[in-house]
Structure 1
Amino acid sequence: MSTRIAVVAGAGGGLGRAVVSALRTADLRVVAIDRDEEALRVLGPEVHRIAADLSTPEGAKSALARVEAEVGAPSVLVNTIGVHAFGDVMTITPDLLRQQVDLNVGAAVWLTQAVVPHMQQAGEGVIVHTAAEAGVEPAAGLTAYSVSKAATAHLTRVLAVELRPLGIRVNAVLPRLIATEANKAMLPPELLATASTPEAVAGAIALLVSEEAAAVHGALVPVNG
């Protein structure tokens, strides 16, 4: 069998880098995409890197076209793109809500639209989106973030139904909190005490894209420390 090609969106972030490593360990050929070209450099020359903004339909479509032209048709997509925001309902502004929805939900939609035709060509497909525990378990002080992640979680289940007839599996992970370097610099130690490591979340994602999870469709997998 030929080596499967996996696209990791948001590969320059803490979780994205861990996913790139986990998928390479699982013998997938990884294409790393991020809008921050400098963040991609640390992944090394053995990882095919594409600098692109995936937050628009045009950006996602163009990036996935490059993946096929430069590497081949992808059969795996892992979407780690996301943005976090604190604040209750009384502090939400139009700009904040738009940011959360555009990046946490919009990128998932545009990436899915862009990758599905290529997966059909490959004859198979697995998509894993990154939602959050806050999207299914209500918590105060994260209103816009929680609502956007709830939409991402439900989108995953809808996509699992819509894309299953095409041979494409869609699932999501639900981290509570990830101990990335960015979060360690921003959050107090007591809040990070039960955080999952990026490697732990990446391990769950690697399992979801593997043949061992071939019967798993529309799952929302908690990864909570």
Structure 2
Amino acid sequence: MNTRIAIVAGAGGGLGKATVLSLYTAGLTVVAVDRTEANLKDLPATIHREIADATDPAAAAPLLERVVATAGAPDVLVNTIGAHAFGGFETVRPQALSALMDVNVGAALWLTQAVAPYMRRKGAGVIVHTGARPGVEAAAGAAAYGITKAALAHLGRVLDRELRPHGIRVNVILPELIATAANQAVLPAHLLARAATPEAVADVITSLVRDATAPDDRVLIPLYDD
């Protein structure tokens, strides 16, 4: 039986690395994608590596061509790319909002556009994008972040509606907060108290993609306790 092939974008970050290792342990062939080779140096040597900036609209299609040439047509795409910004609505500036949209929404759209043709030809596929709770529940103090994550949540619904007839399922996970090293360096302890570990979130992602035919009508997957 052929091994399923998974692309993990943002593989150099805390959640990305955890997801690469979780999927690899589950038996998938994993292609780790990040902007620099240095970000991927700690991964096992048997993990495929590709260097690309997925926020660049021109980068996604050539990336997929390289993945197909070296590893094969993908069955799974996991997008862990994301950026955060603090500040209320009065602090939002056009350039900053545009940059955040490029990361939090643009990468998801360009990667999905690039991977979808290969999954359509297979008649199956799973796509998971990393959203956030502020994208579905309004919160003060991070207006631009919430706006862009809300756009990603809606994009996930649109993608699932358009791709589900082709056998491709799209999910957007909604963690409240992830205790990555980057977050631990800048966030206070009281916020991190309820944060999920990258490994726990990665295990949820793996459970979503393990069976490409698993019936699941929920596009948005909350990963927090009320």
TM (norm. structure 2) is 0.96
Residue type at the aligned position of 2:44: G
Residue type at the aligned position of 2:35: R
Contact conserved, 2:124 with 2:212, CA < 8 A, in 1? no
Task: Specify the alignment match of 1:191 in structure 2.
Answer: 191
Residues 149 and 54 of structure 1, relative CA distance in 2, 3 Å threshold:
same
Q: 2:78 aligns to what SS in structure 1?
A: strand
Task: Specify the alignment match of 1:35 in structure 2.
Answer: 35
Task: Specify the alignment match of 1:103 in structure 2.
Answer: 103
Residues 133 and 69 of structure 1, relative CA distance in 2, 3 Å threshold:
same
Q: 1:58 aligns to what SS in structure 2?
A: coil
Distance across 1 between alignment mates of 2:113 and 2:35 = 19
Residue type at the aligned position of 1:148: T
Distance across 2 between alignment mates of 1:41 and 1:212 = 29
Contact conserved, 1:161 with 1:218, CA < 8 A, in 2? no
Residue type at the aligned position of 1:211: D
Distance across 1 between alignment mates of 2:79 and 2:127 = 8
Task: Specify the alignment match of 1:134 in structure 2.
Answer: 134
Residue type at the aligned position of 2:25: T
Contact conserved, 1:129 with 1:172, CA < 8 A, in 2? yes
Q: 2:59 aligns to what SS in structure 1?
A: helix
Deviation per CA, 1:117-164: give whole Å up to 9, x if none: 111233311000001001001100010000100010111111111001
Residues 177 and 49 of structure 1, relative CA distance in 2, 3 Å threshold:
same
Shift in Å, 1:36: 2.0
Distance across 2 between alignment mates of 1:32 and 1:123 = 23
Shift in Å, 1:211: 1.6
Residues 66 and 212 of structure 1, relative CA distance in 2, 3 Å threshold:
closer
Distance across 2 between alignment mates of 1:178 and 1:106 = 21
Distance across 1 between alignment mates of 2:26 and 2:35 = 25
Residue type at the aligned position of 1:120: R
TM (norm. structure 1) is 0.97
Task: Specify the alignment match of 1:91 in structure 2.
Answer: 91
Q: What runs of 5+ residues in structure 2 fail to find an aligned partner?
A: none
Distance across 2 between alignment mates of 1:109 and 1:78 = 12
Distance across 2 between alignment mates of 1:36 and 1:131 = 23
Contact conserved, 2:125 with 2:212, CA < 8 A, in 1? no
Distance across 2 between alignment mates of 1:207 and 1:94 = 38
Percent sequence identity over aligned pairs = 58
Q: 1:191 aligns to what SS in structure 2?
A: helix
Distance across 2 between alignment mates of 1:84 and 1:53 = 18
Matches within 5 A, 1:163-178: 163-178=163-178
Deviation per CA, 1:30-74: give whole Å up to 9, x if none: 000000210111112110001111112210111111000111000
Task: Specify the alignment match of 1:154 in structure 2.
Answer: 154
Q: 1:106 aligns to what SS in structure 2?
A: helix
Count of residues in Structure 1 that have an aligned counterpart in Structure 2: 225
Deviation per CA, 1:157-183: give whole Å up to 9, x if none: 111110011110001100101000011
Shift in Å, 1:215: 0.6
Distance across 2 between alignment mates of 1:205 and 1:214 = 13
Q: 2:58 aligns to what SS in structure 1?
A: helix
Residues 217 and 62 of structure 1, relative CA distance in 2, 3 Å threshold:
farther
